[in-house]
DNA sequence: GTTGAAACTCTCCTAAC
DNA sequence: GTTAGGAGAGTTTCAAC
């Protein structure tokens, strides 16, 4: 992807609601050009959507924790993500390498809710849990690398080949 | 916080760029009323900003990993977050309870970059690392609980007392 | 705290270069 | 890629309830 597109994405990650006028000024293009690039980024799925950054403390969810889970019976079908999807306290679910199967990020009001959610996780997905409580969050969800020129970066597919493109 | 404000926050978390017209229709208020509530939520810091949700694969950052760090010398001043802030590959930094001091979420292009970032983390903050590679992400950054009525939720401070309020 | 209307800005499309 | 124009929609403020 081009450098100017990365700059647009970085700007939209910092402020997803800024006007195309501001965006155009930041990346040094006209409003029309920026508008067209943003539409293309959205169509290509590079920009998947927009969301508000919220204060979880203000939402009465001051306690964050990571919950590593592994199944009681590893031979059973592994559908923990779908079995846990109904729990609104789970912010994110990562399938991970290592001893654990999944790593969950949960946000609750306090220890009492955490205990309840852990019980619900265990019973819903038939798993054991190992919980790491977050004490503070120095930073979270920072904008991705603005990066002008990739130097040491390896590629996952041969150069010149693009996924899903047949020439149109 | 009121139920209607929570509904607004939930809607903005799902789509941070929707118009006040749509927002008003969803929560059953007029456009002006919704607009005023959103402004108050922003001023109170409940809504801290807006950001684009991006595809890290499309940004050539397909490899996500959790990096748990702990210092070589625990007696040294603990300023790892600031010493690591210059690394754009670090998405989030959590101070955690347990054996480790911090848990980092990093996003890179591949194993080669991961190795480089790990070395930079170790040298920048004088820490050891234990890395957990993310294989896939079933879901991430889900909207927080919409919640109409808190039942089992405990409070972190006495009812009727609000932080920073002296009567204004 | 809510409503409705007016003024303004921005988005979005079109056309020509 | 750029500039220019313009219709429509959305944002923001204002006065009144």
Where on strand D do bases come within 7 A of a protein Cβ? Answer: 1-5, 9-15
The two tokens of residue A34 are 């920026």
The two tokens of residue B40 are 């108050």
pLDDT in tens, B81-91: 999 999 999 99
- pLDDT value, residue B76: 87
The two tokens of residue B16 are 């941070």
Instruction: Output the pTM of the full model.
Output: 0.86
Name the nucleotide with the smallest C1'–CA separation from A24: D2
Rg (CA), chain A: 21
Class at the top of the CATH hierarchy for domain A3-43: mainly alpha
Percent of chain A past pLDDT 90, that is, above it, reads 81
Domain ranges of chain B: 3-43, 63-133
pLDDT in tens, A114-123: 999 999 999 9
Q: Is the pLDDT of residue A87 over 70?
A: yes
Nearest to A50 among B53, B98, B140 (CB): B53
Better-predicted residue by pLDDT, B150 or A18: A18
- pLDDT value, residue B1: 66
The two tokens of residue A35 are 């508008």
Better-predicted residue by pLDDT, B161 or A57: A57
pLDDT in tens, B95-146: 999 999 999 999 999 999 999 999 999 999 999 999 999 999 999 999 988 6
Secondary structure of chain B in HEC code, one letter for each residue: CCHHHHHHHHHHHHCCCCCHHHHHHHHCCCHHHHHHHHHHHHHCCCEEEEEEEECCCCCCCCEEEEEEEEECCCCCCCCHHHHHCCCCCEEEEEEECCCCCEEEEEEECCHHHHHHHHHHHHHHHCEEEEEEEEEEEEECCCCCCCCCCCCCCCCCCCCCCCCCCCCC
Taking the C-alpha atoms of residue B163 and residue B168, their distance in angstroms, rounded to an integer, is 12
Name the nucleotide with the smallest C1'–CA separation from A36: C12
The two tokens of residue A4 are 């100017």
The two tokens of residue B75 are 């007696």
**In the CATH scheme, what is the code of domain A63-133?**
3.30.70.920
Strand C-contacting residues in B 26-65, CB cut-off 7 angstroms: 29-33, 36-37, 40
Q: Give, in Å, how far the C1' of C5 lies from the CA of A144.
A: 43
| Mean pLDDT, residues B21-31 taken together | 93
| Mean pLDDT, residues B1-17 taken together | 92
The secondary element (H helix, E strand) that includes residue A101 is none
- pLDDT value, residue B74: 86
């Amino acid at each position: 992807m081009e450098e100017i597109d990365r700059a647009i994405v970085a700007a939209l990650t910092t402020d997803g609601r800024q006007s195309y006028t501001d965006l155009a000024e930041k990346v040094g293009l006209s409003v029309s050009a920026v508008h067209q690039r943003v539409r293309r980024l959205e169509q290509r799925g590079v920009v998947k959507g927009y969301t508000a950054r919220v204060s979880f403390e203000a939402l009465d969810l001051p306690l964050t924790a990571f919950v590593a889970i592994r199944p009681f019976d590893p031979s059973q079908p592994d559908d923990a993500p779908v079995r846990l999807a109904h729990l609104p306290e789970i912010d994110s679910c990562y399938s991970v390498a290592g001893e654990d199967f999944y790593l969950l990020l949960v946000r609750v009001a306090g220890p009492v809710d955490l205990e309840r959610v852990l019980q619900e996780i265990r019973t819903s997905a038939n798993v054991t849990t190992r919980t790491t409580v977050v004490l503070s969050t120095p930073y979270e969800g920072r904008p991705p690398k603005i990066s002008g020129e990739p130097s040491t970066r390896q590629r996952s597919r041969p150069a010149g080949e693009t996924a899903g493109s047949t020439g149109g």
